Structure 1
Amino acid sequence: MPFSVRRLEDPDARAFAVLAAAIEADHPTNLQLSAEEFLEIRHLSGAVLEGAFDGDDLVAWSGYLAQAPRDDGRRIRVFGDVDPAYLGRGLGTLMAARALAGARTRHAADGAGLRATYVTSTVAGRTDQADLVAALGYRPERYRFTMVADLGGLDISPARHDGYDLVEFDPADSEVLRVAHQRAFSDYPVPMSMTADVWDTFMIQPRHTRHGLSSWLRDQESGEAASYLFSHEYAVPLSGNTDGRETYVPYLGTLPAHRGRGLASALMSHTLQASRDQGVARVSLEVDAHNPDGALGFYERAGFRTVASFEQCTLTEPPARSPI
């Protein structure tokens, strides 16, 4: 029987969660969404998800998440995977090609005058995934690591932050920290800026945000945000370990003028201790191997260890030419 492919809808949420769990049991993905998280992603502006079915069974998925167009171009995240029991039947190639084609169509509709960069990831060491994305035109860009700190026996030493006030996050601080985030990552090799709407969608409103474990440091002299740390908590932990709670740090940033003063260490120590006090067993995060601040070593010194590695690959295409 041939596979059928269609767009995934709300009633597919539970089937998606089951498929995601089966895939994660075979290899790390960082995309093991629960049914509720699937619904959040599916309803994001710019998100399209498709599924391949063997009869009534969802056996593969793919999709894309398109950022809003920017003056300097646009990045579109493309993703997907296959039930391990169905590997070797061409589903990965089919779904990856469909996702890229759909992303291109989306970009042509609302960003044709801009450069487009399509971004996907493969598990380090998985030559089948690497060969698939290479055949579609993607090229390796950088490595990313999933890191975890087990809080049970971790020695957490408080770090000083003289001249800065520690401020517990309040949604009223949202715009202040969005602007700080833009400035903190202005020298980052991959664009990290977010519009106010996107920032609110990803960082403020979702059910997985943990504002009580998010905080920032305010310069006592200027009153500006100098460093910040956000915490999330997903239904399915990033590490795949379901023994106890696990929180996730999506962003830890320090503005250029305040670097070299131990502010990131101060916020991380505070968060690790606060998480342990609230009964959290582990804290996880993702690190870019080419982070200009040497973040991998920073997190290792804080007690994190690498549990998975991914190769991020990109396909960049120039703006479409206007017809003459």
Structure 2
Amino acid sequence: MSTTDLPEPVTPGVTWRPLREDDLPRWHELTRAVEAADQPAERYTEDDLRDELLAGSWKDPAHRSLAAQDDDGRLLAFGLVDVRPGDVSTVRASLWGGVHPEHRGRGLGRQLLAWQCAVGRQLIAAAPGSAPGELVLHSDERLADRTALARAAGFEVRRYHLVMRRLLTGPDAAPLPEVQLPEGLRLVRWSPELDERVRLAHNEAFADHRGSEPRSSEDWSRWVSGHRDARTDWSFVALADAVDGADGPEVAGYTIAFAFEQDWVDGLKEGWTGLLGTRRAHRRRGVGAALLAASLRAFAEAGMDAAGLDVDRENPSGALGLYERLGYAPHQVEVVWGTAVPR
């Protein structure tokens, strides 16, 4: 059965249909209203929405998106379902959506989430392999209505992500740390020649992290190094000298930075660390601290007021402690919800 066979919600005065590219201006207007009410850490530009809808060979908005439109053509709610190809340990269907604050309490969110769950289950069932499936969604810990919606749909808390911030300017900003790489490693700025090595190092470094799956070349280039908001001049790689027979130096660790100007809603310009990883053989040597210190200095030299990142609160690698030692403090808390889908 295809997603077109799924019954769509039925709501008086509302037409439910897939999102289209020509919806982008109205969809952006809707997301801005949602963001103004909910104050999330992450905001979306119109280009971001286009990427969410269309960027990726696997994207299929006709079957993986749904919007509620009123009789005047205004969008009242939206939902997307995304299952990236290449998941190995768990096939995850990511559910994202929102309801205009003036139209909450009408059951739109409940109907939308039920549809998303049904689509997600179908996509998981159709995915190759036999890895278990999971429906996943995120919400801000402060939003009680989102917590109630998730629990009513059978979701359970999987983990908490801390959105952390470190001030770089002003009287409350701590001095920038001076951290040196251990002997045998050298620090270089990210370069296109290193990008594929960094991707492979990332897949190895995050193989034992909860909720992480390998990134394909397509996924990496669209959402990481090739993203419009990536700041590769603020990104660094720790290299180990090549051993006999190796094709070039080994990537021991890396950090990829971004500048999400749409998120600077509180007046602070923020450099964002999107990825920070160290390969297993080089852990517990201060590699991550040295990489992050280099990015902090690059942020400050570029005139940023703060540095931000997010981390799993129960991260087994000790990342939270590292960030706290370098002056980061919790800013917001995001809940990751999940429900298992047997295969």
State TM-score, norm by structure 1. Answer: 0.90
CA contact (8 A) 1:231 1:247 kept: yes
The unaligned stretches of length 5 or more in structure 2 are 1-11, 244-248
Q: Give the Cα–Cα distance (whole angstroms) in 1 for the partners of residues 143 and 276 of structure 2.
A: 29
Q: In the alignment, does 2:260 pair up with 1:234?
A: yes
Task: Give 1:72-221 correspondences, 5 Å limit.
Answer: 72-111=89-128, 113-153=130-170, 154=173, 155-163=175-183, 164-220=185-241
Q: Give the Cα–Cα distance (whole angstroms) in 2 for the partners of residues 303 and 6 of structure 1.
A: 47
Task: Give 1:240-279 correspondences, 5 Å limit.
Answer: 240-241=265-266, 243-279=267-303
Between 1:116-125 and 1:68-77, the stretch displaced more is 68-77
Q: Which amino acid aligns with 1:152?
A: T
Q: Give the Cα–Cα distance (whole angstroms) in 2 for the partners of residues 99 and 251 of structure 1.
A: 28
Structure 1 pair 53–255 and aligned structure 2 pair: CA distance change class (3 A): same
CA contact (8 A) 1:20 1:31 kept: no
Q: Give the Cα–Cα distance (whole angstroms) in 1 for the partners of residues 158 and 327 of structure 2.
A: 27
**Alignment partner, residue 17 of structure 1:** 28
Q: Which amino acid aligns with 1:236?
A: Q
**Alignment partner, residue 8 of structure 1:** 19
Write out per-residue CA displacement over residues 134-172 of structure 1, whole angstroms, 9 at most, x where no aligned residue. 222221111111112222133102211132111111122
Q: In the alignment, does 2:51 pair up with 1:40?
A: yes
Give how far 1:216 is off.
0.8
Write out per-residue CA displacement over residues 51-100 of structure 1, whole angstroms, 9 at most, x where no aligned residue. 22233222222112211144544112111121222221111101111222
CA contact (8 A) 1:17 1:32 kept: no
Report the secondary structure of 1:230's partner residue. Answer: strand
CA contact (8 A) 1:114 1:318 kept: no
Structure 1 pair 24–264 and aligned structure 2 pair: CA distance change class (3 A): same
**Alignment partner, residue 65 of structure 2:** 49
Report the secondary structure of 1:205's partner residue. Answer: coil
Give how far 1:13 is off.
1.7
Report the secondary structure of 2:305's partner residue. Answer: strand
CA contact (8 A) 1:156 1:269 kept: yes
Give how far 1:31 is off.
4.5
Between 1:286-295 and 1:25-34, the stretch displaced more is 25-34
Counterpart selection for 1:29 from 30, 40, 47: 40
Equivalent residue pairs, number: 317
CA contact (8 A) 2:87 2:213 kept: no
Aligned-residue CA RMSD in angstroms? 2.0
Structure 1 pair 32–145 and aligned structure 2 pair: CA distance change class (3 A): same
Q: Which amino acid aligns with 2:307?
A: V
Write out per-residue CA displacement over residues 275-320 of structure 1, whole angstroms, 9 at most, x where no aligned residue. 111122222211111111222232222222222112111111121x
Q: Give the Cα–Cα distance (whole angstroms) in 1 for the partners of residues 48 and 258 of structure 2.
A: 13
Structure 1 pair 50–282 and aligned structure 2 pair: CA distance change class (3 A): farther
CA contact (8 A) 2:86 2:214 kept: no
**Alignment partner, residue 80 of structure 2:** 63
Q: Which amino acid aligns with 1:17?
A: H
Write out per-residue CA displacement over residues 239-295 of structure 1, whole angstroms, 9 at most, x where no aligned residue. 643x25323211101111111121111111111111111122222211111111222
Between 1:102-111 and 1:221-230, the stretch displaced more is 102-111
Give how far 1:113 is off.
4.6
Report the secondary structure of 1:250's partner residue. Answer: strand
